[in-house]
Structure 1
Amino acid sequence: MTTTAPTLVGCSHGTANRAGQAAIRSILDDARAARPGLAVLETYVDVQEPQVEEVLGTVPGGVPAVVVPLLLSAGFHVYVDIAEAAGGRPDTVAADALGPDERLVALLHRRVLEAGAEAGDAVVVAAAGSSDARAVADVEAVVAAFASRWDGPVTVGYGSIARPSVAQAVEAARAAGAERVVVASYLLAPGFFHDQLAGAGADVVSAPLAPAAELAAIVLDRYDAAARL
């Protein structure tokens, strides 16, 4: 039985946006700071290099690894890309996605308040979107939890694939009588999807979730849960 702590491999989608890259890296930097001595590697399933299979290949033989998806919901990248990469190496497991999690809901609420949202504003929670019904269900669980905290109407919009789109959700909120509409960015970092939110027609758009110390805490919780399997 090995006594070596598994290597934590943080796997994000990847982005060409420099600020987005820095935001994602901050999550893993915070994890390293919170757990000195833990080997933490960074990898991606799209856009950036190195990809997850390559990074797993750098983990020394006999050292276990846990791939933690730096993704807010579990769709194709979690159930296929990451699962297959983890399954291709001995002593390697894939952890759960970061969401749903009550800490994400609290962080989303904080970002909305920081953006200047006020009680009574209509909030459209903006997620990336997925064709996987399980990913959509993850988002809807977060939206429902956020709605229980918010004094005003709350709906959801997606950046791609799933419907309604963010713009459609904003339009629907105005048609329902909202005087102000706030888009709550349920995205980890700046990048393509967050850039699109400015054109969705809302009065206010909140910042992405990262950087935030609680994200590293969630990553380490997912790591610990998977490492015990």
Structure 2
Amino acid sequence: MARQQSDAKRQNFWSASPERPYYHASDAGLPVIALCHYLTLESDDALKQECQQAIQSAIAFELEISQEVANPFSYPRQYVKDVGGTKRSSFFISQNNESGYWWQGENARLGSLACMGLLVKPLLDDSLQSKTSGYSSQCLNWILGANPFDICMLDGHGRNNPDYLPNLASSTLKVESVMALQQALMIQMASPLNPSLKQRIWRKTGAGVSNGYPMQHGSC
């Protein structure tokens, strides 16, 4: 709970230090999920109340940052920081991050946030419950096809599933979510890829679609 911080731009975001907000491509909902489980074990009423307030504030942060700009698909936005840059709100993960590269997608992040919203709902004030339910639904809706590309990223379901090329990478299981980074699809639609670079990235990361390049598939 002590990791919840505020600055001049944002209130009640998670952070391990004053310099860098917590953002994660697969476990964005983990801090709140962990606190929900902690509440089931804590017997001290004062600590339980403090925890519930932290949860309320964290959910309010997620809702507010996602609603601060035009967002027709209600995509869950986030507070990020480029390496050597300043903190900023963003739709997608900072590609200039500590890993040194970014070919992963964010569907796992959406799944984590959807799980967070469903798990936390009974703990929220009435004013936040319906908004959080809608937030969780929109996370899943994006994966299942309510996105600008009209792509269902649950393989074998919906329409316009991303193609896999098993001769270039391991085949995928059915009913598996493609880890597609949507920002990159926009780049791919706007400009053709360098074929040799595309092959190099594919061999490195596996099958899927991300960042304009193929990438490893993964479940939400």
Whether TM-score is above 0.5 comes out as: no
TM-score w.r.t. the length of structure 1 is 0.29
Higher strand share: 1
TM-score w.r.t. the length of structure 2 is 0.30
Task: Pick 1 or 2: higher relative contact order, CA cutoff 8 A, min separation 6.
Answer: 1
